[in-house]
Amino acid sequence: MTEDKAVSVYRELANIPSLLKAEIISCQDDIISVSSTWTQKDIERLTTVKFNRSYIIQQTQETRIFDKIFPASGATQLNEELLSSVSPCCTFKAVIRQIKNKKGEDQQYFEVWTQQSLLKSVNLTVADKHGKLYADGEFGCLNWSSDSKKIVYIAEKKQPKTTSYFDRKSCQGEQETESSKNCPVKGDQYLFRDEWGETLMGKCFPVICMFDITAETVTVLEGIPEGISPAQVRLIIGEGIVLKARWFFSWNY
């Protein structure tokens, strides 16, 4: 078995949840409500998540045996949750969660839950495709495509790293490579960028982002005209993207 195959097998096995406890919430003549607590490893965050699942157990009239089990609610984990959205097919629930790492830095995670357990978990901060995701009422959204395969949301545009003119570390003289494209821009560390202000501090250049559930990839959509701030987007398969927009401009004093 190759190293990659071994890692893949471990991820698959670690993704299986374990029952921690269960209790009967209510009991009627032919229906029992059960609440259960589960734990599951989250390889992406190197931690263990705990969530709740509720079931309804129904008795078959002919046999008088409680053998019909129905999920009463989806798996629920609410701590550090910024946004959530249930898919049109009602099978999945997308959650944006913000958690501080061991250094005290905010990390944003994109999670997809089924009614049974955590299905996907992607560290958006580590993926580094964009800045912080918007969770406010003006721009923020988390909307599924009609086929429940993709999700669109709004995030801050990724800005190039900056450094001082006097920083001795430089990429000057390097050939145009993928690594040289990520070199800091000299002299721009104090460059002023207009924000939307008020309750929207830190929001300057919103961009439309799309998460593919199957491929587990994040794509920042191109083609938005400069000065247009997209908001509350919806993805319609076969028809494109429907969105609100704000016109951004600067006052000259």
Residue 244: per-residue pLDDT:
59
* Angstrom distance (rounded) from CA 1 to CA 23: 42
Residue 168: per-residue pLDDT:
66
Q: How confident is the model at residue 152 (pLDDT cuts 50, 70, 90)?
A: very high
Phi and psi angles of residue 193, each rounded to the nearest 5 degrees, phi first: -125, 125
Instruction: Give the list of residues 6+ apart from residue 234 with CB closer than 8 angstroms, or none.
Output: 141, 143, 152, 241, 242, 243
Residue 245 has pLDDT above 80, yes or no: no
Name the more confident of 164 and 39: 39
Residue 251: per-residue pLDDT:
40
Long-range contact set of residues 145-149: C-beta below 8 Å, sequence gap at least 24: 145/235, 145/236, 145/237, 146/88, 146/236, 146/237, 147/88, 147/237, 148/87, 148/88, 148/89, 148/91, 148/92, 148/213, 149/212, 149/213, 149/214
Residue 252 has pLDDT above 50, yes or no: no
**N-terminal to C-terminal alpha carbon distance within the chain:** 67
User: What mean pLDDT is predicted for residues 152-172?
Assistant: 76
CA 8 to chain centroid: 22
User: What mean pLDDT is predicted for residues 176-201?
Assistant: 68
Residue 64 has pLDDT above 60, yes or no: yes
Residue 72: per-residue pLDDT:
82
Strand 150-156 to 142-144 pairing: antiparallel
Distances 77 to 7, 80, 180, 201 between C-alpha atoms, Å: 26, 9, 41, 28
Is residue 117 within 8 A of residue 40, CB to CB? The reply is: yes
Residue 207 has pLDDT above 70, yes or no: yes
Note the pTM of the prediction, 2 decimals: 0.68
Residue 119: per-residue pLDDT:
92
Helix (H, G, I), strand (E, B) or coil at 111: strand
What is the C-alpha radius of gyration for the chain, rounded to an integer number of angstroms?
Answer: 23
Tens digit of pLDDT for each residue in 128-148?
A: 899 999 988 888 899 999 889
* Angstrom distance (rounded) from CA 245 to CA 250: 16
Helix (H, G, I), strand (E, B) or coil at 95: strand
Tens digit of pLDDT for each residue in 83-116?
A: 888 888 888 989 999 988 888 889 999 999 987 8
Residue 169: per-residue pLDDT:
65
User: What mean pLDDT is predicted for residues 157-171?
Assistant: 72
Q: How confident is the model at residue 250 (pLDDT cuts 50, 70, 90)?
A: very low
CA 5 to chain centroid: 26
Q: How confident is the model at residue 195 (pLDDT cuts 50, 70, 90)?
A: confident
Query: Taking the CB of residue 119, how many other CB atoms lie within 10 A of it?
Result: 15
